[in-house]
């Protein structure tokens, strides 16, 4: 069973968004992340911002990219290799917490970066609640 087939078999809450929504939403969010995080890292590398401002952004990227691997990776043969909802639950909470930290850290320096990440914060808050609910429903 591949990752998407496996996910389709899970019990989901009534308020879960349709699967087709995730692609367009993440495409928009990754564009926002690329511009805002890229700006933060550029400012840190040029000395315009202290490194501690970039730390939560870097951690957020690590946790964000780890989620898909923890939840949906494939063995290469189409089989899901690592369906650990509980570990992915910890990870998605870390995505949310590091995003809040990143927004707070950058606010005094570049408010536009903080404000531009509000859609990401809203989506990650929704995704966190969705993932935790799905994990609970499928224990």
Q: Could you read off the pLDDT of 14-67 as tens digits, one per residue?
A: 999 888 898 999 999 999 999 999 999 999 999 999 999 999 999 999 999 998
Given a cut of 90, whether residue 97 has pLDDT beyond it is yes
Total domains present in the chain: 1
In a domain, 46, yes or no: yes
Given a cut of 60, whether residue 126 has pLDDT beyond it is yes
Torsion over CA of 133, 134, 136 and 139, rounded to 10 degrees? Answer: 180
In a domain, 14, yes or no: no
| pTM value > 0.75 | yes
In a domain, 124, yes or no: yes
pLDDT top residue among 11 and 101: 101
In a domain, 1, yes or no: no
In a domain, 8, yes or no: no
In a domain, 4, yes or no: no
- The number of C-alpha atoms within 13 Å of 28 and in the hemisphere containing its C-beta is 11
Domain encompassing residue 105: 20-137
């Amino acid at each position: 069973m591949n990752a998407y087939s496996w996910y389709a078999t899970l019990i989901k809450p009534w308020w879960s968004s349709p699967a087709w929504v995730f692609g367009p939403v993440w495409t928009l969010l990754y564009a926002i992340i690329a511009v805002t995080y890229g700006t933060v890292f550029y400012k840190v590398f040029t000395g315009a911002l202290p490194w501690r401002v970039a730390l939560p952004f870097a951690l957020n990227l690590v946790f964000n990219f780890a989620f898909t691997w923890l939840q949906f990776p494939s063995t290469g043969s189409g089989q899901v290799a690592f369906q650990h909802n509980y570990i992915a639950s910890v990870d998605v909470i870390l995505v949310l917490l590091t995003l809040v930290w990143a927004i707070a850290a950058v606010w005094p320096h570049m408010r536009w970066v903080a404000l531009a990440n509000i859609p990401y914060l809203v989506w990650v808050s929704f995704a966190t609640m969705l993932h935790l609910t799905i994990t609970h429903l499928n224990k």
